[in-house]
Amino acid sequence: MRLLFLGDIVGRTGRNAVTEQLPGLRERYKLDLVIINGENSAGGFGITETILNDLIDAGADCITLGNHAFDQKETLVYIERTERLIRPINFPKGTPGRGATMVKAKNGADVLVI
């Protein structure tokens, strides 16, 4: 399996680099799965739904979050319906979203992302 994990995409510059380069990287390296840490993609403070969709459209299979998961308050609304966006698993019980998700890789394998 060919996996690419891009850590800590920060701000517009980071997002632009990913959206411009990821489609070519997926093709060139025949990537089966792409995971991106997007917790700082909104100017260093969380992620918005628009940014999430842009990263997925560029070829990300799953977006992880960290301690800045809910810096953008709108995340509290859409995280429940977005299976490919995961918060840290060690957040307190009752925190919106999920700490793990199963993703289908391009090669057909099921991959658990935590």
Given CA atoms 10, 57, 4, 33 in this order, what sign does their dihedral have?
positive
**Three-state SS at 105:** coil
Our answer to whether residue 68 is catalytic in this structure is: yes
Catalytic pick among 10, 18, 47, 68: 68
Q: Which residues are catalytic?
A: 68
